[in-house]
Structure 1
Amino acid sequence: MDYTSAAPREPVCLLSPEQIAGPYFRNPKLIRRNISEGQDGLPLVLRLVIVDAMTGEPVSGALVDIWHCNARGTYSGWSKVNPDQEVDADAIGSIPRTDDDTYLRGGQFSDNNGVVRFTTIYPGFYAGRALHLHVAVRITGGNNYLEERHVAWVGQLYFPEVASRSVLNAKAYRGRTLAPPTNAQDEYYANMGGEASTLMVHSIGRDSYEDGFFGHLTIGIDTFAVSTQIRPEDFDKYTV
């Protein structure tokens, strides 16, 4: 008897580890590729590929939101929070907002190849956290917020330290009162699969990092999963 036909199908792509959404999540409903809004910092061109972890097929029409801090370590909406002082808060809404800015936030619908592209800046850091950016993937019925179904995956993406050291020497990132934590010193990186969520990063310029960086990663998700990190009511509650 041929037992191979009865064997469970192996995933053809790794399921990317979920991580917390963090306290600085908002839902500004901004569909845009360029999210920089003139923020100082080295350019970062970001390419993410969303695939079904069970089939390896691209996930098209998914709404992919990203958000991250600026070169000084502050998030839009919380610009008056001191990034050099560690805050004891992880949950969405646990830190009151201080402003209505929207820099370094936005979403794109994945194309037929599962690809989304963003133009932003390389993030800085804040107390207790290595350099990272946040991602949420929502499964929709098409390129329309009104046909949104559910949040399938929430994660954080990290940066290779070789590239980050060059970035943190640039003018926009210097002059902080504390040293940046390494990836290994970040508890979320260490405990929640940060190595598997580290971007591939390349310098755009041949002779200088001042031209910026290109970062890319393939994210494998379970399209039927319902994330516990961001619930549908969180998008309604924390809009704009």
Structure 2
Amino acid sequence: MKRIDFLRKSFGSLGAVAIAVPLITACKEDDIVANTTTTTTSGTVDTTVTPSSCSVTNSETEGPFPTKSPATLVIKDITSDRTGTPLTINIVIRNVNNSCNILANAITDIWHCDAAGEYSEYGGTGMQKTNYTSVHFLRGRQTTDSTGVASFKSIYPGWYSGRAPHIHVHVYNASGTSLLVTQIAFPENISAVVYAQGVYASHGQADTKNATDNVFGDGFTNEMSTVTGSVADGYVLVHTIYVKA
């Protein structure tokens, strides 16, 4: 079975845990960038300006490898034993139901694959070649602070056939009610630089572009991250997710 076909079927089978959020027209990319800018390589985020207009970020499938027990993984540094180019991840959560102001105390789960394109907590057969069922790398949970930011330390995600590079995100309110499942896309020019060096080089360049990715088929403008930095110094990702809370 092709990986894309598997993901299509996975979306249906995960209906009980995926969030039924309407696919509303995306915010303009310049709105996102203007209001979530990095000011230093340590990942400082400016959230003082409220966007003039916004819409709920696209909902997406959790995919075949969601975190099994996310409440047990309240950690900021999710790198574990994985090697790769350092990546600081800053996710800003804003509430469409409150004039797009920031949303503090939002529980934010993320997970992504390693440099070889594989996930922890799964494996051994089929799509996942290596058995990683007993480890939990590149998965974590943080709660947004008073400025609406949830931050993580990780590595730049790898890729696997049929998918463009991405990070999975599941957002809940402070009471644990699910608000949105979505994904974060990456600028292709930066991914190309990362994948040409280090532990990524043996895996090569991603075989799928954002525009031809099946999961991003409904558009990825409001799922595209802003990434700054370098291979030498590491990268900083900033991304705003809009929810109804």
Check whether TM > 0.5.
yes
SS in 2 for 1:20: coil
Residue 192 of structure 1 is matched in structure 2 by: 218
Runs of 4+ that moved beyond 6 A: none
Residue 218 of structure 1 is matched in structure 2 by: 240
Q: Alpha-carbon deviation of 1:113?
A: 1.2
Q: Percent identity?
A: 31
1:171 aligned to which of 177, 185, 198: 198
Residue 55 of structure 2 is matched in structure 1 by: 14
Residue 37 of structure 1 is matched in structure 2 by: 80
Structure 1 residue 102 corresponds to structure 2 residue 136: yes
CA distance in 1 between counterparts of 2:144 and 2:203 reads 37
CA distance in 2 between counterparts of 1:50 and 1:39 reads 27
- Please say if residues 19 and 192 of structure 1, whose CA atoms lie closer than 8 Å, have aligned partners that are also in contact: no
Structure 1 residue 129 corresponds to structure 2 residue 163: yes
Structure 1 residue 59 corresponds to structure 2 residue 93: no
Q: Deviations over 1:14-37 (max 9, x none)?
A: 321111111100223211110000
CA distance in 2 between counterparts of 1:105 and 1:99 reads 13
CA distance in 1 between counterparts of 2:132 and 2:227 reads 32
Q: Deviations over 1:120-161 (max 9, x none)?
A: 0000001111100100001124xxxxxx2x101000101000
Question: Which consecutive unaligned segments of at least 5 residues does structure 2 have?
Answer: 1-51
TM-score by length of 1: 0.74
CA distance in 1 between counterparts of 2:238 and 2:205 reads 29
The Cα RMSD (Å) is 2.2
Q: Alpha-carbon deviation of 1:102?
A: 0.3
Q: Deviations over 1:50-108 (max 9, x none)?
A: 010231111111100000000000000124356698xxxxxxxxxxx851210000000
Q: 1:178 to 1:158 in 2, by over 3 A?
A: closer
CA distance in 1 between counterparts of 2:95 and 2:142 reads 18
Structure 1 residue 50 corresponds to structure 2 residue 72: no
SS in 1 for 2:228: strand
CA distance in 1 between counterparts of 2:203 and 2:115 reads 10
Q: Which has the larger radius of gyration?
A: 1
- Please say if residues 108 and 116 of structure 1, whose CA atoms lie closer than 8 Å, have aligned partners that are also in contact: yes
SS in 2 for 1:172: helix
Q: 1:41 to 1:112 in 2, by over 3 A?
A: same
Q: 1:82 to 1:126 in 2, by over 3 A?
A: farther
- Please say if residues 84 and 177 of structure 1, whose CA atoms lie closer than 8 Å, have aligned partners that are also in contact: no
Question: Which consecutive unaligned segments of at least 5 residues does structure 1 have?
Answer: 1-10, 86-96, 142-147, 224-240
